[in-house]
Amino acid sequence: IEGRLQTRRVDLLVIDGAAYVYQDNESDRGAVTSFCAALNGLAARYDMAIVLITHESKTTADNDTHAASGSTAWLNASRSVLKLEKDRQDPMKRVLKHIKTNRGRTVQPVVCRAAGGVFTALSFDQKRA
């Protein structure tokens, strides 16, 4: 991937999902931290943002500290963490929550509606929490 980044300008790299690029034990804190550090280094070298999509823990999905399956290092080693939740009252709505940031402040949740495989923001408050 780094070879491609050297030949073109990329502002945002989205990896959907982590299992396609991470082949180690997702519960191994050291391995996860090293992997996330490598992604953070890549982002810094090429002055871009990287979004890594992971699945949440199925056993503790309602707990923000378990927003990623496996080690808590997925969250701890990340600069910022977003979590997409289903709305309990409307199955077509989702809420995108900003649950962690190392730089700056978290932003208010964004309420979205799913239609035809696309999420459309219904509310976006640019005020900071």
Percentage of residues of the chain with pLDDT beyond 70: 84
What pairs with residue 107 in β-bridges? 128
For residue range 45-96, list pLDDT tens digits in order: 999 999 999 887 666 555 565 566 667 888 888 889 898 888 888 989 999 9
Q: What is the pLDDT of residue 64?
A: 62
Q: What is the pLDDT of residue 106?
A: 85
Query: For residue 129, is pLDDT > 50?
Result: no
Using an 8 Å Cβ cutoff, are 94 and 84 in contact?
A: yes
Q: Compute the average pLDDT of residues 11-15.
A: 95
What single string gives the DSSP state of each residue in 40-60? HHHHHHTT-EEEEE-PPPSSS
Q: What is the pLDDT of residue 71?
A: 74
Q: What is the pLDDT of residue 27?
A: 87
